[in-house]
Each structure stands twice: as C-alpha cells, then as structure tokens.
Amino acid sequence: MRHGGLRRVVPVVAAAALVAGLTVSGAAPATAAATCGSYIGTGYTVSVCLDQLLDGSTLTGSRQVTAAVTVTPAGAVPVDRVAFSWNGGYLLADHDPDPGTGTGTYRMTLRSERLTNGTGTLSARAFVDDPGGTTPGTTSSTGTSTASNVSGVPPADPFVPRTAAPGPDGRVRLAVVGDGADGSPESLGVTAQIAAMDPDVFAYLGDVYDNGTPFEYDTWYDDPAGYGQFRGITNPAIGNHEYRTDGAAPYFAYWGGAPHYYSYDLGGWHLVVLDSTTDFADATGVASQLVPGSAQYDWLAQDLAAHQGSCTIAYMHHPRYSNVVDVNRDGLAQVWQLLVDQNVTMVLAGHAHTYERWRPLDRNGAAAPGGLTQFVVGTGGRDIINQKGNDLRVAVETTQAAAGALRLDLGPDDAAFGYATTDNTFTDSGTVPCRHPAPPPDTTPPSVPTGVAARAVSPTSADLSWTASADAVGVAGYTVRRGGVAVANLPAAATSYRDPALAAERRYAWTVEAFDTAGNRSLASTAATATTPYVRRSSRSLLAALRRAPERDRGFIASSFPGWRDADGDGCSTAAEVLVAEALRPPRVGSGCALTGGRWHSPYDGRYRTRSSTMVVDHVVPPREAWRSGARAWRPALRRQLGNDLGYPATLVAVTKASVVAKAGREPQDWLPRPAYRCTYVADWVAVKWRWRLAVDPAELRFLTRTLRGCGWPQVRAPGRAVP
C-alpha cells in the first residue's frame, strides 16, 4: 500500500542507453560515458544522465544501472522517483537516491536473461513534484542493442515452507514485517534490525514496490544487503502490489511456485498463510477466496480443524482492522470469524504502513479477554505513516513515522513479542497466551490408514490411494505428507489424492495420517514411494531445431577430444561410471575401479556379456562427427565435457567391442545398429546433437528425416542444453 499527501507528480525527462556487440559476463564494469537528457520547467531545469552501454555490444549477465538526476537550481523541485523501462515497457521505479552522492543517483539491477532477444532501448525518466502544475516534455537518446536471452532465468527451487526446531530455551524466533522491499534507506535499516534479531524464520507480509516486477525482485527484494539475506528462511504472503504485474507471476517465480495459501509448523505452533487480495479467483470462478465455498476458505476451515490442539498464527497482507482511515478490510469478516471460532491465537498483517497491536477481539470485533490478537506490521520501510483515527480497541500503536520490525519468540504455550522502530523511539513488548479449545471428550485417535499406495502418472504428478480409517466418533479428514511435509488436508470421504507439484526423475515418499473432529491424529501410515518418469520430447521438434551447416573435417586429430576423466574423484573414469550405470547385474567395484562380475546388454548388436573387458563405451555422436559439426571451434575444455557427458544418458552407451569396430565412427546414413534399435539410435543421435548445438549437413538431414518419419517420430528423454 502507498500513502502520501496530495500532490502533482509529473514526468520531466527521460534518458536512454542502448547496447550491442560487447559480451558482458556477470556484472559489467561501469562505463565512463552516459546518455543525458534535460527538461526546462518554470524556474528550474532537470537533467537525467543514464549509464551509456557500449554500442555494438551484447548485454549478458547482470549489471547495476544508474541514473544521475540534477535539479538546477538545487532544491527548486523535489524528485519523486526515477522509472526505468526497456523499449517503453516498465521495469522498475526507484524513489530513493543513493545517499552520499553529489547528485541524486538512482539504480536498478539489469538482468539480461529477463529481456527479450533483439534490439532494445533502456530508458530512465525522472518524476518531480511540480507546484506550477505544468506539463513538461521529454527527451531521449536512441541507439541499438542486443539483449542476450538464450535460456532465460533458471527456475527457483520448488517452494517448501521454512521451519526450525526450538532452541535450548524451548522457543523458536519468528521475525515479521511487510511493505518494505523498495531499496530505501528505511528498508535497509529494518533488514539490519531483523538481522540483529537472528530469527529462525522470517514472515514477509507482502508488497514489493512499486509493481512487483521481476526487476524489482532482482533489485529490491534480492538485495543481499536487504531482504535478500533472509530469502532462505522466508515464508512469504502475497500483497496487492505483486498483482500489479501479470497476475503476480514474478512473485510465484521468485518463490519457486509458493501457493496462494499454505500452512506449516514451527516450534510447536501451527501457522497458516493466506492470500487476502481481491485479485485471486479460483478455477471455478469464485471471485472472492475469503468466503465459504471458495477453495481458500474451505481449505482454511479444514486446516484449522486438523490442528485444533495447536497454538495457531494466521498471517496475510491485509488487516481485518486498522486505525488508519479506510484500511479496514471488511471482506475478511468471515475469515476473521472462522479464525476466532477455531481458537487462532494471533493474526499478523501489513498493508497499513504503521504498527498497531489490538486488544483481543471476539468474532464480531468487540474487545473480549481471551479473544484473537491482531498485529499490524506494515513498517518494513515504505512511506511510514502516523495519521490515525481514534479506535479505542487499539492497545498500542506508533505515533511517529519510523520503520521497525516485530519479533515473536514462540514457546510451548505462549508467544513473547517485541517491536521496536529502527531508531528505538518506540517499543512495545509483552506476551500473548495461546488460545486453546475446550478439552475434547474424545481422546482416542483414528486408526492408522492402511493400504497406502503411490503411482507416478506423469513427470510432475503422482496418485496416492489408501483404505479409509476408523474412529470412535468419526474421521474428520486426512493429512498427506510428502517427505514429512504436509502437502494436503483432505475431507473424511477422501481415500485418494493426486500430488501435482513434483519434479521429473525424482523419488518421493508419502505418508497419510487420519484426524478426527476432536483433533486426535493417527500415527503416520507406512510410507508409499514412487519415482516420477523423465520428460519426453519429440525427435521431430529436436530435428527441426538443429542448425544446418556443411561439415568441415579439416584439422581433426584424436587428441582434439581429451580422454576419459574422473570427474567426482572416486577413482572411476567416465567409461567405468557408464558401465556400472548400464549393467543389468551390477558388477563389484574393486581397487582402482576394477569391475568384476556383472552382466551387460549391448543395444547395438543385441548381445549379452558378463565381462567388462568385452564392453566399451561408445560416443553415440563420434568425436570426428562432433568436430565436423561445430566442435572444431570449441575450446578443448568444452570438447572434453562432450567426451565425458554423464548429464544425458543417450550421449554415451556401453556396447560390445565388435559393434564399435563395425560402426567405425560413421554417421547414421553410413551405419546403423540392429533393426530393433535403429529408431532409438537415430532419435538419440538427434537429441545429442541438439543438446550440444551441433549442426547437420543436407545429406544427413535428409536421411534423419526419412528414417525418423518411418519410425513414427519417436519421443526421447528431453535433453537439456549443455552449451550456452
């Protein structure tokens, strides 16, 4: 949320810099030149100078871009912000110049993988508070540049809620704040304060400014001197500013697909995280996820019912109540009532850029001892406010505009809290006792679910099934855990579940627990395991993507491709690793990686062998063919990587010596293995060439096309790119 007085903010000048031709690896060094533009207003001049990126260069990697803003005469008009854009598309806004500079210097992290390939213009535009209300013009400089975007930004690791065990004092420390990721000095002061707390887990209550773009995540949230230092211990809640960009796609990408809502356990406490915005609608079209019948609300009801005996905290971006005018969130009324009815102890929220601790309230918002306590902690650094109403239900609130953070030390039956502003002009502390339901008359847990089975149905999903549990009063539902982490709470009628958030070629283990209406839980079931298959890709699409070029054999010698290596230092070369991996009956691995015993099948000729000395490891695409197809231009280290590629199973294959002699390094149009293996062999040939960006010549292309068409365009294990 953004607060501020009424004023006229107008754009006054834009400066642009372009790049082409110079390859920059990692963070680029600053250039001496700059592109500048200026605007002459009524009684003032504003100039903007943006880093000049070298013409004729290719922008790669990540670099800091700065724009210097000068107002003449000094202080004639205040600068509100500088907005950066690429080809007219908004990237980021910086509201706070770097301190200690002679002119106002504004910055952003430019990560080229996020840009579209091709010519582009980077622009910076200053916005000032112009009391005259004039409408100024703009100026910009132009040039050409190529942004390198071969593979895009690698995906973040899949989100798993961060958790921690209690310390020697029996408590876990949770730091809490929202509305701060904007790079301002105030936000950096808050993150320094959080670092001094040394939290086990950090709850960020949403809003990355101004619009939650990927570049604002790179520059503001991922700053290692700011909130980025806590990324590894953060369990975030989404805010309204994140939804200003593409359905909040950068938020979900940055946090590895974090759900809109989820829960986790921390030091004996149960925490639920909600999406409190109005931008979130489920697949059935339910516009509000904060009312009964919506997916989020119904999940919350089931989750709270499954954790009746736990001390519980709920957090989200918006507060149900706030003493800041027009910030009360009436749409949260039914969620609030559910939280009160289910004995939740605390609610944490941001959005209002202030700190408030409310008296315990009942389900209708009236002060009630033993009720639900709300903290508003939107004090992460962005535009802190202190304009308040006069709500007597507020126990403590800030009276000055100062940023700060909340510390919660979660104990067995209470939470000790402490809040302080970064300048220590305001503090608040105390203890909130855990709210518990009345002791349940039923203390017998349901029976342990039996017959749990798992089956992978795709590279990213698996189906679970089990036999229903029994309970003296009635089973209320089931909790499914993957690797010990809860992934679903299901109703009592459920005896199956599809887990949709898996990764390809991974082995997973699931357990199922039953819980009843009294909060009793069964022991975990016997674990069921399944391994997801690999992702497949059509050989037709891979062949169509291969580069076409004539072959050049000149200069090839056997030593152009260095021999086998021992990449992991275990004493076994790449060839030995392949023999071990492809053995039908694993051999014994002795001193010096001597292989004895074992049994192999050679796919080239269909023969079986029981001695490793009769087998060799063949390059599906021979070194000479790789040389002719493009590897001649590589550095030796890269050719050695190709020769020892254990990252894609089709690159190297264990076969009989006789079949390798028969192949003699020839291309498919000159040699093919036995008929039963030909389609696989030709498809693997194409996949390996695609992985290593090797070319095909016209005759080879015609043969591959004809053969694979006759094979029905078989699918192969999807290869990853090995060459940038």
DSSP states of 542-584 as a string?
Answer: HHHHSPB-----TT--GGGS-----TTSSS--HHHHHHHHH-S
Distance CA 144, CA 14 (A): 17
Q: Percent of the chain scored above 90 by pLDDT?
A: 70
> 69-78, 263-272, 403-412, 414-423 — which is least confidently predicted?
69-78
Distance CA 112, CA 129 (A): 32
Quick one: DSSP state of residue 369?
A: T
- Given a cut of 60, is residue 194 above it in pLDDT? yes
pLDDT attached to residue 629: 95
What is the arithmetic mean of pLDDT over 383-393?
Answer: 86
Distance CA 242, CA 662 (A): 61
Q: Which band of pLDDT confidence, cut at 50, 70 and 90, is reported for residue 439?
A: low
pLDDT attached to residue 53: 63
Q: Which CATH superfamily does the domain covering 172-385 fall into?
A: Metallo-dependent phosphatases (3.60.21.10)
Distance CA 510, CA 529 (A): 6
pLDDT attached to residue 138: 38
What is the arithmetic mean of pLDDT over 149-156?
Answer: 72
- Given a cut of 80, is residue 141 above it in pLDDT? no
Task: State the residue for tokens 């990540």.
Answer: 62
pLDDT attached to residue 56: 52
SS3 content of the chain, % helix, strand, coil (to 5): 20, 30, 50
Query: What is the rounded average pLDDT for all residues in the chain?
Result: 88
Q: Which of 155, 132, 173, 116 is nearest to 7 (CA)?
A: 132
- Given a cut of 90, is residue 462 above it in pLDDT? yes
Task: Tell me where in the chain the CATH 3.60.21.10 domain(s) lie.
Answer: 172-385
| Per-residue model confidence as pLDDT tens digits over 257-292 | 999 999 999 999 999 999 999 888 765 555 689 999
> 212-226, 278-292, 424-438, 520-534 — which is least confidently predicted?
278-292
Task: Tell me where in the chain the CATH 2.60.40.10 domain(s) lie.
Answer: 450-531
- Put simply, whether the predicted model's pTM sits higher than 0.75 gets the answer no
450-531 carries CATH number 2.60.40.10: yes
pLDDT attached to residue 350: 96
Taking the alpha carbons at both ends of the chain, their separation in whole angstroms is 41
What is the arithmetic mean of pLDDT over 441-450?
Answer: 91
| Per-residue model confidence as pLDDT tens digits over 59-114 | 777 888 888 888 899 888 888 889 999 888 999 999 998 875 556 899 999 988 88
> 138-142, 155-159, 610-614 — which is least confidently predicted?
138-142
| Per-residue model confidence as pLDDT tens digits over 357-379 | 999 999 999 999 999 999 999 99
pLDDT attached to residue 117: 76
Q: Percent of the chain scored above 70 by pLDDT?
A: 90
Contacts for 636 with CB less than 8 Å, ≥ 6 apart? 560, 562
> Residue 164 has which token pair?
């921690």
Contacts for 392 with CB less than 8 Å, ≥ 6 apart? none
Farthest CA pair distance, the chain: 91
pLDDT attached to residue 33: 66
- Given a cut of 50, is residue 436 above it in pLDDT? yes
pLDDT attached to residue 308: 87
Instruction: Report which residue type is found at 704.
Output: L
Distance CA 274, CA 290 (A): 9
